[in-house]
């Protein structure tokens, strides 16, 4: 039986690391001894997370980089600073994104554009620049944070479901392109995870009840645990796509 990989000493870049799932993933990796670049727009949040991790026994080093994934130069800089600091990039977690719900005919085109620029264009930029040093090294793992919304479409989710369907498709295309060259790609598709996501998405109060029907929702740490487990798989094995729902959440 192949043993799980030890992640200690590896180097990761996590986008959207200032809160929620991104912050939890960054923390979980750092506590495994991974050196982590924390990238997001809210640098004050990143600084607070980095300070907390510096005080944790056995945690890997961290650095903070301001990064709006919609800005090509900032994405390039986040990758560049990671390579300059540690000389490698082993794990790329493309997590930055946000959601929204509402009838399409009542939708706000400006919000659609911001969402698609972040969830799709920003993802493409992150993968373009983050996967390149992995290909040069002939190894690495890319994790794309998609959503169950990209698999199961719901009324009111035209823009968000579309953006996450695109994210899963982008991840699968990248997997086919870089897998033969030694780089693994995994799309993670969570169900309901309680975080700031719901407030940013301006969810009405009854949405979660209708999705969960009494089921216990996931927490960001649940997704972080799965990401770590995926990255620990032996070199010859790749989890290409993974759905994780609350037990009892039947739909979406």
Phi-psi category of 50—alpha, beta or left, where left has phi over 0 and alpha has psi -120 to 50? alpha
What is the token pair recorded at 73?
């130069």
- In angstroms, the CA 216 to CA 184 distance is 31
What is the token pair recorded at 213?
């029907």
Instruction: Find where tokens 């005919």 sit.
Output: 105
129 is catalytic: no
Among candidate residues 196, 191, 241, 186, the one with its CA nearest the CA of residue 218? 191
Instruction: Find where tokens 């996590």 sit.
Output: 14
Strand-pair category, 140-145 with 91-94: parallel
> Which candidate in 160, 184, 187, 193 is catalytic?
160
Residues annotated as catalytic (active site), given as ranges: 160
């Amino acid at each position: 039986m192949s043993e799980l990989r030890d992640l200690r000493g590896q180097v990761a870049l996590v986008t959207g690391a200032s809160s929620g799932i991104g912050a939890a993933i960054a923390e979980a990796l750092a506590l495994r001894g991974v050196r982590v670049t924390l990238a997001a727009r809210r640098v004050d949040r990143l600084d607070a997370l980095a300070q907390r991790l510096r005080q944790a026994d056995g945690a890997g080093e961290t650095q903070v980089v301001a990064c709006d994934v919609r800005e090509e130069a900032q994405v390039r800089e986040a990758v560049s600073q990671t390579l300059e600091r540690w000389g490698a990039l082993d794990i790329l977690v493309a997590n930055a994104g946000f959601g929204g719900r509402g009838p399409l005919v009542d939708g706000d085109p400006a919000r659609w554009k911001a969402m698609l620029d972040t969830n799709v264009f920003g993802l493409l930029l992150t993968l373009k620049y983050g996967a390149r040093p992995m290909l040069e090294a002939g190894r690495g793992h890319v994790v794309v944070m998609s959503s169950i919304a990209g698999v199961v479409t719901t009324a009111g989710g035209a823009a968000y479901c579309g953006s996450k369907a695109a994210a899963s498709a982008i991840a699968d295309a990248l997997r086919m392109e870089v897998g033969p060259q030694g780089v693994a790609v995994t799309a993670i598709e969570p169900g309901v995870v309680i975080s700031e996501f719901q407030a940013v998405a301006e969810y009405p109060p009854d949405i979660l009840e209708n999705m969960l029907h009494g089921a216990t929702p996931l927490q960001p740490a649940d997704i972080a645990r799965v990401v770590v487990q995926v990255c620990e798989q032996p070199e010859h094995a790749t989890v290409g796509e993974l759905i994780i729902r609350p037990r009892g959440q039947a739909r979406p």
